[in-house]
Amino acid sequence: MPELPEVEVVKRGLESILGDQARIAKIVCTRKDLREELPVNDFKKMPGAKILSLSRRAKYILIKTDRGTLLSHLGMTGTWRLAPEGQEQKHDHVYIYLEDGRRLAYRDPRRFGYLGFIKSGESHAKLDHLGPEPLESEFNASYLLGALSNRSTAIKIAIMDQEVVVGVGNIYASEALFASGVNPLLPAKDLLKKDAQKLIKEIKKILTRSIEVGGSTISDFAKADGEKGYFQNTFFVYDREGKVCFSCNKSKIKKMVIGGRSSFWCPTCQK
């Protein structure tokens, strides 16, 4: 499901559910691994842990407790939801029981997701080597031009590389490139400064707007539970192969697999 906006909204949903008083009663795994092994031994130490705060880094959600931090990545199909007794679903892999009787379920059919544990005061390999957050000021044109200066790979692949900038996935990469008029196949190092500025502005704009749209559904946390797809966003190019471009009203949207991922663009608007 998720790129950065979706993860941010799930994080806020969890935040609103958990508040600042929640304590974990127990964590139960219905299998021993997702993509990687679940930290079942660390989970065993969690009964009684107080949840202190929720945060997000890249597409990871961090659930900080007084016994360490749970690290969640939703992969392609991961979802968190409130799951009262009797509302189990196929592919529920982990349940977090709260002391107040509620229960969170992590469901992930494809199991591309990840659940890990960070011991208090320690770092975690998954969080090393991540590029800047796209909505922070450090993600700016001079940074980006530097990061791309020796990259001959397509710009679309480059902006999806989490070491360049985090959180931009396949859909928003296509959308941001369209909005900034940059051809997705352009060698990254050939990006002009003015286009870098435009691209950064559009990435920030698109991600911010998507968070806002998703945020409006937060009160109904069930909606943060996948299946609904992205936030009813109107995509300008994504999944619009062969359809007329909304901007120039002339060209048909092209599709090409770039770096193994479907990519969409307007040949007129993106030279």
For the CA atoms of 200, 203, 209, 213, the dihedral, rounded to the nearest 10 degrees, stands at -160
Q: For residue 111, state whether it binds DNA (rule: CB under 7 A).
A: yes
Q: How many residues bind DNA (CB under 7 A)?
A: 35
Among 99, 140, 145, 162, binds DNA (CB under 7 A): 162
Assigned token pair, 230: 């992205």
The Cα–Cα gap between 66 and 53 comes to 10
- Return d(Cα 63, Cα 252) in angstroms, integer: 44
Structure tokens of 13? 């949903």
Question: Quick check: 247 binds DNA (CB under 7 A)?
Answer: no
Phi, psi for residue 193 in degrees, rounded to 5: -60, -45
What part of residues 192-211 is at the interface with DNA (CB under 7 A)?
A: none
Known catalytic residue at 102: no
Distances (CA, A) of 236 to 3, 126, 252, 255: 17, 33, 11, 13
- 6 among known catalytic residues: no
Options 11, 59, 67, 103, the catalytic residue: 59
Hey, is 226 helix, strand or coil? Answer: coil
Stretch that binds DNA, among 37-45, 163-171, 190-198, 216-224 (CB under 7 A): 163-171
In three-state form (DSSP H/G/I as H, E/B as E, the rest C), the secondary structure along 115-142 is: EEEECCCCCCHHHCCCCCCCCCCCCCHH
Binding range to DNA, per CB under 7 A, among 10-18, 49-57, 61-69, 104-112: 104-112
Q: What minimum distance in Å lies between the beta carbon of 100 and DNA?
A: 31
| Long-range contact set of residues 80-87: C-beta below 8 Å, sequence gap at least 24 | 80/10, 80/13, 80/14, 80/104, 80/105, 80/106, 80/107, 80/224, 80/225, 81/105, 81/107, 81/221, 81/222, 81/224, 81/225, 82/17, 82/221, 82/222
> Least separation, in Å, of the C-beta of 228 and DNA?
8
Closest to DNA by CB, 1 vs 191, is 1
Least CB distance to DNA at residue 263 (A): 9
Q: How far apart are CA 252 and CA 51, in angstroms?
A: 50
Answer yes or no: 119 catalytic.
no
Stretch that binds DNA, among 12-20, 21-29, 167-175, 197-205 (CB under 7 A): 167-175
Per the residue annotation, which of 201, 223, 254, 261 is the catalytic one?
Answer: 261
227 is catalytic: no
**Shortest separation between residue 19's beta carbon and DNA, angstroms:** 27
| Binding flag, residue 254, DNA (CB under 7 A) | no
Smallest distance, Å, CB 112 to DNA?
Answer: 4
Contacting DNA (CB under 7 A), which of 10, 27, 58, 61? 58
**Distance, CA of 62 to CA of 128 (rounded, Å):** 14
Query: Please, which residue, 98 or 160, has the CB nearer to DNA?
Result: 160
> What distance in Å separates the CA atoms of residue 264 and residue 237, rounded to the nearest whole number?
6
Q: Of 135-154, which residues contact DNA (CB under 7 A)?
A: 150-153
Phi, psi of 56 (to 5 degrees): -130, 140
- Which residues lie near DNA (CB under 7 A)? 1-3, 6, 35, 58-59, 73, 75-76, 90-91, 109-112, 126, 150-153, 157-158, 160, 162, 169-171, 188, 229-230, 259-262
Would you please indicate which residues are annotated as catalytic (active-site) residues? 2-3, 59, 261
